[in-house]
Structure formats: structure tokens, C-alpha cells
Amino acid sequence: MHDQRQAVEARLGRVVAQRIAPAVHSSPVPLEVAAWHAPGEPVPVADGLTAPYEEFAVGTPWGPPWGTTWFRLRGQVPAQWAGQEVEVVFDLGTDARSVGFQAEGLVYTPDGEPVKSINPLSTWIPVPEGTTEFEFFVEAASNPDVLGGGGLVFEPTPLGDVLTAPRDPLYVLARADVCVRDTEVAGLLSDLEVLGGLMLELPLEDARRWELLRGIDTALDALDPHDVAGSAGRTRAVLAPLFSGGARASAHRVSAVGHAHIDSAWLWPLRETVRKVARTTANVTQLMDVHPSFVYAMSSAQQFAWIAEHRPEVHEKVKERIAEGRFVPVGSMWVESDTNMVGSEAMVRQFLEGKQFFAREYGVDTQEAWLPDSFGYSAALPQIMKLAGVRWFLTQKISWNADNRFPHHTFDWEGIDGTRIFTHFPPVDTYNSDLSARELAHAARNFSEKGRAGWSLVPFGWGDGGGGPTREMLARADRLGDLDGSPRVSLHSPRQFFTTAEQDYPDRPVWSGELYLELHRGTYTSQAQTKQGNRRSEHLLREAELWATTAAVRTGTPYPAAKLKELWRTVLLHQFHDILPGSSIAWVHREAAATYERVRDELEEVIATSLAAVVGAGPVDLQVNSSPHARAGIPAMGVGAPEFSHEAVTVTREGTDTVLDNGLLRLRVDAAGNLVSILDLAHDREVLLPGTSAGLLQLHRDTPNKWDAWDVDAHYRHVVRDLTEAESVVVDTDSGDGADVVVRRTTGASELTQHIRLPRGEARVGFDVEIDWRDREAMLKAAFGLDVHADRSASEIQFGHVFRATHENTSWDASRFEICAHRWLHVGEPGYGVAVTNSATYGHDVTRSVAHGGRPGTTVRLSLLRAPLSPDPETDQGRHTLSFSLVVGAGIGDAVREGYRQNLGLRDVRGAGPVDPLVVVEDPAVVVEAVKLAEDGSGDVVVRLYESLGGRARTSVRWGFPVAAVTEVDLLERPLEQGATTVEDGGVRIGLRPFQILSLRLTRG
């Protein structure tokens, strides 16, 4: 019996591949092909249609990396084909194993009407019925396969940038024919794919498996291998009884949702994503013309906006299908962003911009967050999603965990404030399903909720330019709706699935805290310049909105709403989960650097214009404090005269050591420039563990097993070199606000200048590291060996913080060997703590450590730079300046304050005099995150604040302008059920739960 099974399986595979599949298209007649190679960047469609074409033969090379070639196809339909289905088969010469990662094309009619896309698994173009002569144009993009054959080779390559890529053609035109498509043969192919695939997935002891095997064997006997078309009908008749049995009562239920995960940039630049989206959506709308039950879901408002701007002819078809409810906008966000590193207000704006775009453009109120591929999920997300009107969350990325299997597929996810949101992880473990029997069987077997719930979602379709769902996938769905041995498959929208699944499983388990991905930990560090651009942009946007709002309210200066929206959207786009994490090709990050410079310049102009209006003309030297905390006598979010009352820092020599003292801290720096002692004078305790130093630069070998730019593997810790030798050590006391020790070091390949700074009047040590980074496959860290016994660390995330273990008691703890923090990380013991703040560093590790003599402590390290070779072989090479601080004797509140201080420096201006803040909050635990004018143009002021310490707070919010009413609103600035808040004496009293986000709309009086 076993030998019979193997024989039928082998027979089926060969017959399908070598006999049936080639017979789907028959009677080929060569086309007349001409080509035009567009110079430089892609051209408008009108230019491509009217270009000077030249004859081009099948078998001819075409397409240098990142080039565009327009092909013109002309042909005739033989009269004897009347009444048959006629198609063009046009093969660009690509590899079907690498769908979405190489050459693709979009087909147009001569009048510029989009038809569908061409890619390795969809090389056909429909010829309209009744046509005798036809002409098509194909805009073909010769994108290189940067990672190699779809196999993720991760070899260094110059292909990742048009500036470094070679110019030799990549592809050879393989086929250009007009053919008859035999629908009966195509139907037979789908029958055998479904039945044969199901047969292979059923257990050997299941009688249904053997029924299928024998039926398929008999059907293959009925097939004439020399006349597939002539025998296809009788072969299908033999197979028909195998489809007659309905699914079992216990069969798993699958909501199949058409989808194409299109990375907004990754192994291609942003400009190419615009075309990938156009190709895929053209494919989808063409399929909808012939499959009335087909429903397709597309995320990312940015991608809709792209086709509306750049491919309006495609967008018109999309809009028609959206109105029908078959093309479904999902996700609620501007892009499928990273959620680990995106800042608090930026995370809000992802939803605000996304949901408002979908509502305004299409009248659709999206209800789900759709992030199948982001690299872990912040514990702040449930509250943010719920406040944005999101009911459901979907991802499958946690199935990529390297060590621990996540225990649920359907559950309630609880965030740091206690908010819960219905969450589903598709057990099919892919967002690019082909609806094969193998994948559906895996979904049913893998589903963790068996016996308690019965529904899961399967996103099906080729992504990243692969064209999305195919007619073959839809044919499988038709056959798998009610088939014995298979899950029941229904074509659904996401909303249909979520509504059904939520009702199906009312007593769901709860997962509390972050959804940490046990993979891709290197994305907290790769491409430091991109991360710096994001962090700087987020804080400049805060400043621009704050001072533009102040100027509008106080002086009537026009609020630059359109400019701010455009800049916000630009920053949100670059928070996509392969841009901000540093996992895209060199071209993407080169362009990102230039974009961030433009964003900085334009925001600085907004800030300068607004501040000029706010402070007025005058001779007074002032400083602007955009932080939510008072500083140096200047109120939070106000303008005042600086106060410098602290004594100067003293510098003395003790032997070969340099001692710096500001009355709060006493630092000892040895002859090699190592900070070996920090004495906290206020608490009379040494901060550092004996034998350690602060800001110690450490160089690790960094050679992950795969996923170079993405991964840091645990074995990186096995090889480390402490950079404790100095080229020179110089003390600088000329800065006026403290004293610096300037230390020059080298790794051998890289040169580093480290500034150790003790400022006046602060229990803080500042570090600036200037680096000419030339190491490869290495990671640079900065370490602090702290005499603090902490079994957990606190890391800032959006609107709060999370605690993580510093030990490795469980495999879950051990897997968090690299963690993400925003502006600060804190470790403490009862009564004493230390914080490390940073200006643009996200990767950290925190471990328990033991000093000489057995004294327990904690080591905190920042991950400063990496140097992976793929997909960008020049990752991070060049000059960087990285800043961080050690805050001594700090509680969580101090960490919050100093994190803002590190990222929002005081600005010097000259004007008429001090300016009171627009908004004042009395309790330092309550932080103002944003002050802006309302989105609707009413002139109302929106203030967003949150409880930052994880406790409860009651405080007053006051304002320095006439306010007629205060309304609590959601993140889209819609009134919440609580309604209006009573205004008393220029302010309101509010109460906040731990980590609660509160948005107040102040209607001006």
C-alpha cells in the first residue's frame, strides 16, 4: 500500500507539471514585439505609449537593474478561434521562485486603460472576446533580485542602489504569443491540485486519503497524455464524485481574504512601490470583473494615496470596487509601521492620518489594525488602537519566534493601561497564502484554540509586486468551500471574519504586555542615520505644532496646517517597518537621509516663524523650552530668561586620574580616559560596580546566521573587545556649562572621539561619541556597570513604559537578550535608581552582573552601531555622533523628564520678553505630549497628555487663553461619551488611570 501511494504521488506530480499545465495554453501564434528603453527614471504612461519603439525579438536580453522598458505587443486572432477564450502569454524571463522580487510589468491598452500586471506566475493577458486585431503596451520594470533567487542568500551586492548597480541587462525575453486558453484543461489542473494536495495532507489512517488516491489514479488512466485537451472532460468526470462529499461537521472554518502584502519600501525604492501597488491593484480589479465573490483587502492609506496621485486610471477602478464593498481598505494606519521605535504622538498620527484618509476619500470607517509583518508590537498599542476607534488587531509575525511558541491564535491583548483588544494571529503562518491544501491543513492543525473556537483567517495572494490573488487561488477556494477532509473555505472580508470570530469565542484568554518578536532584534540599531532622522523629526514636529498653535492663539498668525500634515505624512511613511528598522536597500536609506534633511529644514522654518510671532521684536535674550517639564527657571512649553546659578565644575588631578566635581557628583577618569568612579554625593554612594566603568565602548563580532540587517543572534556576546586604550585624553573646561574629558580611541578600523561631560548643577553625566565607523560585521555598544541590584528594567515606550526581567529564569526571559527603549531606560532598587537616556538609540541589553568580590549589580548597555552587509553592504559606514546620558539617583519620573531634556534642547531667541505657556499641568506625573490645532480647521486647541508613572493622578490643566468649553475626545478628535468637562477658573480638574492617554479639545472663547 505504501509503494502504491508513492507511485501515485510521483505519477500525479509529473503528469500535472509536464502534461496538463503546458496544455492550458495551446495553438501559440508569435506576436509582433517592439520595445523602447526609457532613459533614467520611469516616465508617465502617456510618454510610454507614444515613445519611438523598435523591433525586439524573443530571446533578446533587456533591462539593466532598476531600468524601465516599454514593450508594444501586436497580434491577430485567427478566425477559427472564434468563441474560444484567447489570451496573450508574455513572459519577461523571470524566475517563478522569486515572485515579487524581480521584473514585473503593467499592461495598458493603446488609450492608456490599465489591464492587469505581468509577473512570473501571471504571464497572461486577456484578449477581449470578438477581437480580431489587438495591441497592448507593457511597462516592464527590470528590478534586480537583491537577495538572490528568492532564497535569501544575504550576500553583499551593489544591486541595492541605482548608483552602484551594474548596467548589463538582467533578463531575456522568454515568450510572446497569442494562444487559446483551454478552460477545461485549466479546470482539470485545479481539480488535481486541490484533490492531490488534500490527499497528501490527510493522515495515512484516514480512509478519505485512500479514496482520493485511487480516484486520482483512475482519473489519470482516463487522461490521454498525447491529447490532454481532448481527454480533459472525461478525466474530470472521473474526478467529479470525489468533490461530492461535504466537509465534516468538525471541519475548521477559514475566512479567506484576498490580500497582497506590499512593503512600502524594502528591496526596492519608494518610487518602485508606487508601481508595485498600481500593478497589483490593476490585477485585483481585473479578477473582480470575472469573479463576483472575490473580496480583496488592502492596507496603508499611503498606498491608496500613491495610486490616486500617480496612477489615477488604476485608482478609478479601485474606487468603483470600494463602493461595491469588494475592495476593502483595512488597517486604519498611514503605513504598516514599525511599532517598537515609533514615538508616542507619531503612533497616534499613524491612525489619525490613516483613518481620516479612508473616511474622507472612500467613506469607510476602518475597524481593524492590520500589521502582519512588523517586528514586534508595543504594549501601548491596545489603548492607542481603541482610542482611534479600532476594534480588532491582526498579525502573524509572532509565529516567526525563534524560541517560544506563542500560546494563542485568538485572544484579547491587554496593554499597559489595561485596555483590551480582540486579536487574531492567522494559524496559516503566512500573509502570502496560495490557498493550497498544504497551507490550509497547516492552519487547521496549527490552530491553538481547537475545541474552543473554530474560525481563522487566511490572507491569500502574492505580495510585494507578485500581483496578489490569482485566478488559480480563486479556483481552489471554489473547490474547498465544502469538501470532505478539508477545512471549509469562505471568501470573506476582514470585518466578516472578525465579527464572526469574536462571537464564536466569547470566553477568550488574555495576553498582557508587549508582543515581543524573538527575531529581528538588530532592527533596533541598523541604519543609525535613519533612526536619528526619525527621532529628530518627531521632536521637531512637536515643537512646530506647539509654537504654531501658540502663535495662532496669541497673535492670530495663520496655522500652517497643510504644511504640517504633509511633513507628518512624510515622517509616518518613513516609519514603515523596513525603513525605520534599517532593513531596506541602500537606495532607500540614502533617500531617507535626504528627506529627513528636508523635513528638518522645513520644520525649523515653521518653528522660527512661529517663535518670532510669539516673542515679538525686542532686545531681551530668551530661551525656549519645548519640553513638558520646567528647566533652568523656564516653564514647561514656555519662553523665559535662563538662570545660571550653579557653581562651576572643579577639575583636579589625583595621581594619574582626573577628578571632576559639580557638588552633586564626583567623577574619576583614569589615565586611559575610562570613567571608573561616579560618587553620588547627595546619597553618599558609589554608582559603579568595582572594576567596571561608565560609557565603556565594546566591540562585538556580529555575524547573524541569516537576516543580516534584521538579526542580532545571541552568539554575538561570545566575542567582545573592550576599547579601554586611548590615543589621547584631554580635559576641556572652556564650555562654560561644565567640564569635558575628550578621549580619542580606535578599533583598528574605526576612529572614535568620546566626550565625557559633567554639567553644572545636575546629577547627570553626558556622553557624546563621534565615530568614523569603518568596521564590518561588528556591533558597537556602550556599557554601564551599575552598583544597583535590579531584577527588572523599565523601558520607555509610547505613553508609558514596560518592565522586563534582567535575569534569564525562563526561555521567554532569555529570548529578550536585546530590547527596545525609546528615550530612556531605568534600573532601580528600593530607594535608589539610575537612568540611561539617549538622543536616538533604541537597542539595549540589561543583565545581572557580579563585580569583584561577589557584589551583585546590573549592567546596562546601549547598542550604538552595527555594520551588516545585506541588504546594504555599506550599512552605517561613515561619520556619526551619538549622545546619551547617565542620570544618577533617578526615579522613573526623573527618567521621563531627562528623556525629554535629551531630545528637546533649549532654543536661544531674542524678543520682547518671557512668554507664558499656552497650557499648564500641575502634576509632573502628567505629561503633555502634543499641543495642536484641531484637524477640522475650527481653531480649537487639542491637548494630548498622559499619566507617565504607572499610577493614578488627579491634577489641574490650565490655559493662558480664553476657553469656552472643554471636551474629551478620541484620537480622531471626536467627542467621547464622557462629554464636555466643566471649565472653572481658567482650568479643569482631571483624573487619570495608570498610563491613561487623555485628549482635550479646548473650544476658544
Catalytic residues: 373
3-state secondary structure string across 100-121:
CCCCEEEEECCCCCEEEEEECC
- Inter-residue contact 335 to 300 (CB < 8 Å): yes
Torsions phi, psi for 72 (to 5 deg): -110, 125
Query: What distances in angstroms separate CA 561 from CA 139, 358, 380, 573, 936, one per listed residue?
Result: 37, 19, 27, 18, 10
Secondary structure letter of residue 262 according to DSSP: -
The tally of CA atoms less than 13 A away on the side-chain side of residue 662 is: 24
Distances (CA, A) of 396 to 99, 296, 406: 20, 18, 11
CA distance 57 to 327: 38
Give the pairing type, strands 832-838 and 800-805: unpaired
Pair type for strands 997-1004 and 963-969? antiparallel
The Cα–Cα gap between 250 and 594 comes to: 57
The strand pairing partners of 861, in sequence order, are 783, 845
Q: Are 782 and 767 in contact (CB under 8 A)?
A: yes
- Pairing state of beta strands 327-329 and 296-298? parallel
Contacts of 974 (CB under 8 A, 6+ apart): 389
d(CA 470, CA 352): 33
The whole-angstrom separation of Cα 799 and Cα 970 is 15
Residue of 825, 583, 566 whose CA lies nearest to 708: 583
Q: Which amino acid type is present at position 728? A: S
Contact partners, residue 374, CB within 8 Å, separation at least 6? 336, 337, 338, 339, 395, 397, 577
Phi, psi of 309 (to 5 degrees): -80, -45
Of 840, 833, 837, the residue nearest 884 (C-alpha): 837
Collapse the DSSP code of 127 into the 3-class scheme (helix H, G, I; strand E, B; otherwise coil) and give the result.
Answer: coil
In sequence order, the 6+-apart residues with CB closer than 8 A to the CB of 127 are 77, 86, 87, 88, 134, 178
d(CA 940, CA 933): 6
Distance CA 756, CA 650 (A): 14
Q: In terms of residues, how long is the chain?
A: 1005
Q: What are phi and psi of 354, to 5 degrees?
A: -65, -50
CA distance 374 to 338: 6
Q: Is the dihedral of CA 94, 98, 103, 109 positive or negative?
A: positive
Q: Which three cell numbers stand for residue 27?
A: 495553438
Spatial separation of the C-alpha atoms in residues 606 and 550, rounded to whole Å:
12
Cis peptide before 871 (omega within 30 of 0): yes
DSSP state of 975: E
**Burial class, 1003, CB count within 10 angstroms (exposed 0-12 / middle 13-18 / buried 19+):** middle
Shortest CA distance to 927 belongs to which of 827, 804, 790, 823?
823
DSSP-derived pairing of the beta strands 907-911 and 620-625: antiparallel
Alpha-helix residue ranges (DSSP H) falling in 150-182: none
Which ranges constitute the DSSP H helices of 574-711?
586-615
DSSP-based helix, strand, coil % in the chain, nearest 5? 30, 30, 40
